Structure formats: structure tokens, C-alpha cells
């Protein structure tokens, strides 16, 4: 008994000595794809974005020591869940950031909830993160499938693209995206004249594109992602689909995808994003710094979301004076968000971050004034209309 | 009946060697068990559980390849489908973990019976291709079937409580459950290898026509070992689903079939402990080199090439040559 008492006293003394130093040390883990198809839109760029947030926040001056580590989840949910578990159990990570690929994000969502830590997702698309699988420990920052379907779907119908044809990747994500977009299109007064499902992952889209071309649709909705989207856009260009008067609507296309495709191929594509480097002075200034720190690539909305998420988290750490996850999450939801990239916004009770979304059209090569000048702003979707209404998500926290 | 009368005759000359072996194998098993009991206090339990699941998977595969001489390139099908069934049983049907693992294992066995019955009709590369083809069918089934959750997999599987009594959610408690399952699995494999049945298998591996001429119904033996291997691979997969609370497409993808071949070859095909070592090496590499991102697969490739060039018998195979005892 005596010995254990002694040990306890010693332990308590050490703990008190620890807190007496007043510094809060937080450890951020950037978990994303660093080698596969999403390495460009997240990858090392997200780590740079997180570092920039720490610098811009002047964390060191405010007595907050921040350490950032990163790992590659290879877009696999099992790898993501293993790393997340290990980070929380062993490495003392407080927050996991980014996590593109919905399946991996949902896995981290579960582990984070179980371990009561904080998960600020930027890269994943699934709206389930703030819907049926919502968690009190998760903030979904940048975008989701509902916002993309809503942005691209309703805007295209309003600009005259009433008849839709879907090219859908034949798995759960593709089906969900097609379903959500169909609902939006029909609600806006459009109609879906047909759809075709291609195997996932696919390489030859010619027969599907020919069906789409002959369907009489005004808009061809690409309910797929990554390599499938790139391949279908490339092959659509070979068939002259956009030149023939049909519009391509990419439901999940990132700036880096357009960069990889080139304007000649991607021109005329309509897409929804929540951030573009050339939006205003603040985004231009930040993006310029970002490009200098990295290898010259402009940031994607995913990387911008990591920056803004870290900034908001650090503000919450400063405000609560500690890093207790429950207090931090409450603070993050209570405090309005304000950052140079997404402007003013808020984090909703279900974890959904609310801000404006933008509908862009990819420029033709002769309209582009230089490197990375790819998008033309078509319209702004105001924050209150950009995301799924709280009541529709089926999140238990919203009740 | 030919089987019954034939097997003792074959087993007789080998059993001396088997008795001689048993002593140092006993020591190794005891050492492994002792290490297994203490390890979670030193190392990270979740990592250890992953190593154990893959070790069992590799040993099950080795039973087929190393002792049956059958190279299956579709073992992920059994591993993965068992993990799906186990996850589904624990999450949707609300079964206790031991029943969920059992259900998954049975699923692996049934699938093994169905695929095995067709695959053993061919030999060599054709056998490998047939198993790969079936595994791909299982993969597409897993991708499309409504209960598997597509590319999301089955997530948030509850760890539950053992027999409804012992809560398995703390890592260390679960660890000992997994240790027990895997250790029993390994002992079972050891028993199979050193039984008369195992001796017949080796005879078939070495010279199939001669085994036929001795009156063995070779196809029955092959099917039996295929089903056993599938069952044990299923046991590993079902346990993994409970450990990681997740069953995903990774487990049924063909790369998983390749990985288990790699583990077995690197550790030492046809040795008792080789696959254990191989699995530990590969999982450790994947775990601790994860920060190198894309380099992991390159490093893994280099190590494999080195392994093939320098010690073709695998790590344990080479060790066993040194100590002049079968390990």
C-alpha cells in the first residue's frame, strides 16, 4: 500500500509539474493519400497547409506547441483505421486531419468517436459523415456529396441543362451520387432521360459515352471519381461531346484533375468547389505563399480546408485553454469561423462546416491567362443553400 | 478404405523423426506462448493482434502450399469473405464475438469446399489461375452485394463481450482472446502436418502418380487440405474483423492473396514456423515504414528480391539448415 501511495504521489507531482508549465502541446496528424490517385489534391500539400495554419496563428507566441505528423492511408479503410488507432493510443495525437476517400474517413470517424478525440475532415466526400454516421467528435469542413450534387445539379438546370444522362460508377459511391443528383435535378424542374453504369474501375468508356451522346440529353453527369472521371472526360473529348453541344457535369472534380487533363480536354466542364485560389485577394495571397512552400502547385479546396480547420481548432484551444476534446468540440461549434480562405462561417451541431460554395466552368485554352488560370466563376451558392438542411441528414445530434 | 490401411504404413518410418522433432518444437511453441503472454505489456496490442491474424493466415496458406504443394492464388477469398460474414454477424445479427468468428470460419470452410471441389481438378498454374478467378468473383460479389457496404466495407463492428460475460473492448483483453484463437489454430495446423494425413499430403506433394499408385485417392486428400486451409484462413479473417471492427475490400482483393504468398515464401515455405516469421516481417514493415508512403511497396519488393536471391528457402528455411533441424 505504502509503495503504491508513494508512486501515486510521485505521479501526481509530475502531473502538476507538467501543467504548471502552462504550455499546451497539441499533436496534429495529417492522414491522407500520399502515393495514390489523391496524393496531388491532398498529400504533402495538406501537411504544408497545416504548417501554414500553425505559423499564421502564431501558436508558439500563444503558448501552444504544435507538432504535425503525417501518414499515408493508401485510400484503404483498414489502413486508415489502424493508423488512427495507433496515433491515438501510442503517439498521443489529438486531432486527425484531412482523410480523403469516404471509406477511410468513415473508419477514422468511428475510431475517433471511440477514443474521444477530434477529427477534422477535409478530403472526403460522403455526406454520411454528418448524416446517418455523424459523430460528436467530427467536423466535416470542405464539401460533401450533397453540396456537390446540389451545386452542380441545380445550377446546370437553371442555366438550361434540363435533360440529364448519368454515367455512373457501378458501386455504392456512384449510386449515391447519382441518386442525390437525380433528386436535385428533378426538384429544380429537370428530368433524367437515362443512365448507364460502368464497371469500377473502368478504362474504356466509349460504349457508355456513345449511349450518352445518342440519348438526346443536354447534360452528361459524371457520377464517378478519380481515374474514372479523368478517363471519361478524356474520352468524351475524343468523341467531341462538348463541341457537339452537350455539357459535361463533373460531380467530383478537383483543380488538380483539371490540371492533369489540360484545358484542351477539360474545357467547358462545369463543377462545384468551395475554394479556388483566384477568388479574391486573400485567397491569391495565401495560395501564392502555399505554392512557394510546395513545388509550385496551387492549393486545392481540400488543402485549403485543412488550413482553415487547423486554424479554427487552434482558436478553440486558445479559447478553452486546454485540449479536452469535448470542450474543444463544443467551442468549435459555438464560435463562428473566420479565415482568409472560406470567409465567415460556422460549424453546425451535426459537425457540418457551413460556407459558400461556387459553381465554376473550366475555361477554354484561349481564355486562360497563364498557369493555373483554369476556372471561370459561374455563380456563388450562398452558405444557407449550399449544404443539406440540418433536419434532412438524419443525424442523431440534430434531434 | 484404402486410405485407412495405407496410412499407417506410410506414417511408420516418419514417426520416429516426428518424435524427435517434437521436443524442440515444443520448446519453440512454449517460447512463443510465453512471448505472446508478455508481449502486450511491451508492444502495442493492436499491432500484435494484426501480426497474429496474418500469421495464422500465412500458416493456413502454408498448409496448402508447403505441405499440399498446391499454390492457391485466391486465398484472400476465404480470408475476406469470412471477415465480412463475421463482421455482419457481430454487427447486424448481434452475435457474441466467439459466435461471430465461428460463423465467419464456417463461411470460409463452405466457400473453400465449393471453390476447392472445382479447382483441384486442375494442376499447377491452371490450379492457381482457377483459384484466382474464383477469388475475383468473390471480390466482385463483395463490391456489389448489399450487405457488404461496397467500398466502405462493414464498419463500426462491435467487439462485444466474450460469451456475453467478458467485455472485449479493452485492447489487452481482446489480445488474449485473439492469442488463444490463433495459438489453437497454430497447434491444429501443427497437428495436421504431423498426422498420418499430413504424411500422405507430403507424399502427394513429392510424387502424385506414386501416391495414386499406392492406392490413395489423391483428389480427396487435396480437397480435404484445401478446405482445412480455407477454414483456417477464414478463422484468421473472421478474427481480424473483430479486432479492427472493420471488414473491407482490401481483405478480398487479389493483392491480399499475393501478400500471403509473399509472407509464406519470405518466412520459409513448408516449415512450421516460417509463415509466422514472414507475416511478422511483412506486417512490421507495413506498419513502421508507413511514413515512407509509396516507398513501402518498393522496399517490400526489394526485400522480396533479396530473399529470393539470398535465401530461397526463406528465413526459417535457412535457419533450419544452420541448426540442422526441421523448424
Residue A256 domain-assigned (yes or no): yes
Mean pLDDT check: name the lowest of A42-46, A206-210, B2-6, B309-313. B2-6
pLDDT at residue A15, rounded to an integer: 46
Whether A111 and A192 map to the same domain: the answer is: no
Say yes or no to pLDDT of B212 above 70.
yes
Number of H helices, E strands in chain B: 13, 2
Q: What's the confidence (pLDDT) of residue B2?
A: 42
Task: Name the residue ranges covered by the structural domains of chain B.
Answer: 2-253
**What's the average model confidence in pLDDT over A112-135?**
92
Q: Would the pLDDT of B109 be above 70? A: yes
Number of residue pairs across A and B with CB atoms under 8 Å?
74
Cβ-Cβ contacts under 8 Å for B220 (sequence gap 6 or more): B3
> Do both A373 and A285 map to the same domain?
no
In this structure, are A241 and A372 located in the same domain?
Answer: yes
Instruction: Establish whether this prediction's ipTM goes over 0.95.
Output: no
C-alpha cell of B225?
Answer: 487440405
Instruction: Give the minimum alpha-carbon distance from A379 to chain B in angstroms, rounded to a whole number.
Output: 33
Burial environment of residue B215 by CB neighbours within 10 A (0 to 12, 13 to 18, 19 or more): exposed
| Cβ-defined contact of B50 to A82 (cutoff 8 Å) | yes
Closest CA to A296 of A261, A340, A259: A259
Is the pLDDT at B162 greater than 70? The verdict is yes
What's the DSSP call for residue B247?
B
Element (H, E) at A355: none
Q: Same domain for A265 and A351?
A: no
Residue holding cell 451535426? Answer: A350
CB A30 within 8 A of CB A98: yes
Going by C-alpha positions, the residue among B254, B228, B246, B231 that lies closest to residue B84 is B246
A254 CB neighbour count, 10 Å cutoff: 25
**Are B291 and A86 an interchain contact pair (Cβ–Cβ within 8 Å)?**
no
- Give the start-end residues of each E strand in chain A: 24-32, 64-72, 95-98, 118-121, 138-140, 163-169, 191-198, 219-223, 247-250, 270-273, 337-339, 343-347, 353-354, 357-362, 375-381
In a domain, A15, yes or no: no
Query: Are A305 and A269 within one domain?
Result: no
Residue A177 lies in a domain: yes
Of B155, B287, B294, the CB nearest to A77: B155
Q: Mutate which of B291, B293, B297, B299 to test chain A, going by most A C-beta atoms within 10 A?
A: B293
**Is residue A393, in this structure, part of any structural domain at all?**
no
In terms of domains, do A290 and A343 share one? Answer: yes
Mark whether A247 and A381 lie in a shared domain.
yes
Q: Write the CA distances from A179 to A305, A381, A392, B88, integer angstroms.
A: 26, 21, 15, 25
Q: What is the pLDDT of residue A17?
A: 42
Adjacent-strand bridge partners of A31:
A71, A98
Give the B window 126-165 contacts with A, CB below 8 Å: 143-144, 149-153, 155-156
CB A233 within 8 Å of CB A248? yes
Per the prediction, chain A carries an average pLDDT of 88
The answer to whether the CB atoms of A173 and B150 lie below 8 A apart is yes
Any idea what the Cα angle at residue B82 is, between residues B252 and B37, rounded to 5°? 105
Q: Is residue A80 part of a domain?
A: yes
> What does the alpha-carbon distance between residue A42 and residue A73 come to, in Å, rounded to a whole number?
12
pLDDT of residue A176: 81
User: Do both A371 and A249 map to the same domain?
Assistant: yes
Least confidently predicted of A34-48, A282-296, B123-137:
A34-48
Residue B17, pLDDT above cutoff 70: no
A394 within a domain of the structure (yes/no): no
Chain A nearest-CA distance from B315, in A, is: 26
Q: What is the mean pLDDT of residues A239-265?
A: 89
Question: Which string of DSSP letters, residue by residue, matches A265-288?
Answer: HHTT-EEEES--TTSSHHHHHHHH
Which of A90, A107, A170 is the closest to B246 by Cβ?
A: A107
- Average of per-residue pLDDT values in chain B: 87
Q: Do residues A248 and A269 touch, judged by C-beta distance below 8 A? A: yes
Q: How far is B153 from chain A (nearest CA, A)?
A: 7
pLDDT of residue A18: 42
Q: Are A350 and A368 in a shared domain?
A: no
Residues of chain A with a CB closer than 8 angstroms to some CB in chain B? 34-35, 70-72, 76-79, 81-83, 85-86, 89-90, 102-103, 106-107, 110, 126, 133, 170-173, 200
With cut-offs at 50, 70 and 90, classify the pLDDT of residue A399: confident
Cα–Cα distance, B245 to A122 (Å, whole number) = 24
Angle between helix B254-267 and helix B124-144 axes, rounded to 10 deg:
130
Contact flag B144-A90 (C-beta cutoff 8 Å): no
Test the A interface: residue of B172, B241, B248 with most A CBs within 10 Å: B248
B251 contacts in A (CB within 8 Å)? 78
Backbone angles phi, psi at B255, to 5 degrees: -65, -30
The domain total for chain A is 2
Compute the nearest-CA separation of B244 from chain A (Å).
7
**Digit-coded pLDDT (tens) for B76-108:** 999 999 999 999 999 999 899 999 999 999 999
Question: Same domain, yes or no, for A240 and A370?
Answer: yes
Highest mean pLDDT among A33-42, B74-83, B161-170: B74-83
- In-domain check, residue A120: yes
Neighbours of B38 (CB within 10 A): 10
Please report residues of B whose CB lies closer than 8 A to that of A79. 250, 290
Whether the predicted pLDDT of A349 surpasses 90? yes
In a domain, A18, yes or no: no
User: How far is C-alpha A168 from the geometric centre of its chain's CA atoms?
Assistant: 21
Contact A72 B291 (CB under 8 A): yes
Q: Containing domain of residue A60, as a range?
A: 23-143+280-355
Q: Which residues of A touch B147 (CB under 8 A)?
A: none
Helix (H, G, I), strand (E, B) or coil at A147: helix
Angle at B77 between CA B242 and CA A229, to 5 degrees: 95
- The Cα of B50 is separated from the nearest Cα of chain A by a number of Å equal to 9
Q: Do residues A266 and A293 both lie within one domain?
A: no
Strands in A95-98's sheet, in edge-to-edge order, are A64-72, A24-32, A95-98, A118-121, A138-140
Cα A383 to the chain's mean position, in Å?
16
Sorting pLDDT into bands at 50, 70 and 90, what band is A60?
A: confident
Measured between beta carbons, the chain B residues lying within 8 angstroms of A172 are 149-152
Verify that A269 and A342 share a domain, yes or no. Answer: no
| Cα–chain center distance at A52 | 18
Q: What is the pLDDT of residues B278-306, one digit of tens each?
A: 999 988 888 777 666 667 778 888 888 88
Q: Is B291 on the interface with A (CB under 8 A)?
A: yes
CB A219 within 8 A of CB A155: no
Unique residue bearing C-alpha cell 472493420: B246
Task: Tell me the C-alpha distance between A101 and A220, whole Å.
Answer: 24
By Cβ distance, the residue of A35, A107, A171 closest to B155 is: A107
Q: What is the pLDDT of residue B294?
A: 65
Rounded to the nearest angstrom, the minimum Cα separation between A398 and chain B is 21
pLDDT at res. A275? 94
pLDDT attached to residue B187: 93
CATH number of the domain that A342 lies in? Answer: 3.40.50.2300
Amino acid at each position: 500500500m505504502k509503495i503504491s501511495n508513494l508512486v501515486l504521489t510521485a505521479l501526481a507531482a509530475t502531473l502538476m509539474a507538467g501543467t504548471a508549465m502552462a504550455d499546451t502541446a497539441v499533436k496534429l496528424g495529417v492522414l491522407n493519400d500520399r502515393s495514390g490517385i489523391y496524393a496531388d489534391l491532398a498529400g504533402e500539400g495538406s501537411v504544408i497547409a497545416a504548417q501554414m495554419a500553425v505559423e499564421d496563428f502564431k501558436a508558439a507566441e500563444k503558448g501552444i506547441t504544435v507538432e504535425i505528423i503525417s501518414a499515408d492511408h493508401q485510400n484503404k479503410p483498414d489502413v486508415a483505421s489502424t493508423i488512427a488507432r495507433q496515433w491515438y493510443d501510442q503517439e498521443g495525437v489529438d486531432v486527425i486531419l484531412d482523410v480523403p476517400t469516404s471509406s477511410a474517413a468513415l473508419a477514422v470517424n468511428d475510431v475517433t468517436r471511440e477514443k474521444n478525440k477530434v477529427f477534422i475532415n477535409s478530403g472526403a466526400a460522403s455526406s454520411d459523415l454528418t448524416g446517418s454516421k455523424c459523430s460528436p467528435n467530427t467536423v466535416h469542413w470542405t464539401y460533401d456529396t450533397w453540396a456537390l450534387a446540389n451545386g452542380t445539379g441545380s445550377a446546370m438546370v437553371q442555366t438550361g441543362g434540363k435533360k440529364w444522362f448519368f454515367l455512373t460508377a457501378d458501386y455504392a459511391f456512384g449510386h449515391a451520387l447519382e441518386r442525390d443528383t437525380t433528386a436535385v435535378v428533378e426538384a429544380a424542374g429537370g428530368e433524367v432521360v437515362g443512365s448507364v453504369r460502368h464497371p469500377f474501375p473502368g478504362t474504356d468508356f466509349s460504349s457508355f459515352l456513345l449511349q450518352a451522346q445518342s440519348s438526346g440529353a443536354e447534360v452528361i453527369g459524371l457520377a464517378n471519381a478519380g481515374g474514372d472521371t479523368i478517363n471519361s472526360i478524356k474520352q468524351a473529348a475524343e468523341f467531341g461531346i462538348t463541341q457537339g453541344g452537350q455539357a459535361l457535369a463533373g460531380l467530383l472534380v478537383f483543380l488538380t484533375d483539371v490540371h492533369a487533363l489540360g484545358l484542351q480536354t477539360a474545357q467547358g466542364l462545369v463543377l462545384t468547389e468551395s475554394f479556388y485560389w483566384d477568388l479574391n485577394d486573400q485567397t491569391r495571397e495565401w495560395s501564392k505563399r502555399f505554392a512557394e512552400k510546395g513545388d509550385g502547385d496551387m492549393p486545392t479546396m481540400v488543402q485549403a480546408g485543412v488550413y482553415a480547420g487547423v486554424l479554427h481548432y487552434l482558436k478553440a484551444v486558445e479559447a478553452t485553454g486546454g485540449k479536452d476534446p469535448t470542450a474543444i468540440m463544443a467551442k468549435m461549434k459555438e464560435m463562428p469561423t473566420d479565415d482568409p480562405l472560406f470567409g465567415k462561417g460556422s460549424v453546425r451541431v451535426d459537425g457540418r462546416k457551413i460556407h459558400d460554395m461556387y459553381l465554376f466552368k473550366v475555361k477554354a485554352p484561349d481564355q486562360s491567362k497563364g498557369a493555373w488560370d483554369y476556372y471561370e466563376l459561374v455563380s456563388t451558392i450562398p452558405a444557407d443553400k449550399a449544404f443539406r438542411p440540418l433536419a434532412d441528414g438524419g443525424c442523431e445530434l440534430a434531434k | 478404405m484404402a486410405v485407412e490401411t495405407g496410412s499407417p504404413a506410410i506414417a511408420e518410418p516418419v514417426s520416429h523423426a516426428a518424435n524427435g522433432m517434437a521436443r524442440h518444437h515444443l520448446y519453440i511453441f512454449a517460447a512463443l506462448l510465453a512471448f505472446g503472454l508478455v508481449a502486450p505489456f511491451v508492444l502495442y496490442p493492436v499491432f500484435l493482434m494484426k501480426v497474429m491474424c496474418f500469421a495464422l493466415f500465412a500458416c493456413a496458406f502454408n498448409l496448402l502450399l508447403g505441405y499440399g504443394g498446391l499454390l492457391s492464388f485466391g486465398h484472400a477469398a476465404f480470408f475476406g469473405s469470412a471477415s465480412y460474414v463475421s463482421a455482419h454477424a457481430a454487427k447486424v445479427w448481434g452475435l457474441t464475438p466467439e459466435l461471430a468468428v465461428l460463423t465467419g470460419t464456417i463461411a470460409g470452410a463452405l466457400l473453400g469446399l465449393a471453390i476447392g471441389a472445382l479447382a483441384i481438378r486442375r494442376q499447377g498454374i491452371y490450379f492457381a489461375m482457377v483459384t484466382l478467378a474464383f477469388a475475383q468473383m468473390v471480390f466482385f460479389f463483395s463490391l456489389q452485394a448489399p450487405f457488404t457496404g461496397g467500398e466502405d466495407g462493414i464498419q463500426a463492428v462491435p467487439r462485444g463481450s466474450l460469451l456475453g460475460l467478458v467485455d472485449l473492448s479493452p485492447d489487452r483483453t481482446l489480445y488474449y482472446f485473439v492469442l488463444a484463437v490463433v495459438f489453437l489454430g497454430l497447434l491444429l495446423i501443427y497437428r495436421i502436418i504431423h498426422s498420418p494425413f499430413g504424411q500422405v499430403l507430403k507424399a502427394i506433394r513429392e510424387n502424385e502418380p506414386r501416391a495414386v499408385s499406392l492406392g490413395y485417392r489423391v483428389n480427396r486428400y487435396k480437397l480435404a487440405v484445401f478446405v482445412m486451409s480455407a477454414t483456417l484462413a477464414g478463422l484468421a479473417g473472421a478474427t481480424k474483423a473483430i479486432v479492427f471492427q472493420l471488414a473491407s475490400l482490401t481483405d478480398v482483393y487479389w493483392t491480399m492473396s499475393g501478400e500471403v504468398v509473399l509472407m509464406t515464401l519470405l518466412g520459409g515455405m513448408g516449415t512450421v514456423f516460417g509463415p509466422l516469421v514472414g507475416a511478422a516481417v511483412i506486417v512490421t514493415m507495413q506498419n513502421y515504414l508507413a511514413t515512407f508512403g509509396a516507398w513501402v511497396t518498393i522496399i517490400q519488393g526489394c526485400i522480396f528480391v533479396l530473399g529470393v536471391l539470398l535465401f530461397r528457402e526463406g528465413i526459417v528455411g535457412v535457419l533450419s539448415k544452420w541448426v540442422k533441424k526441421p523448424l
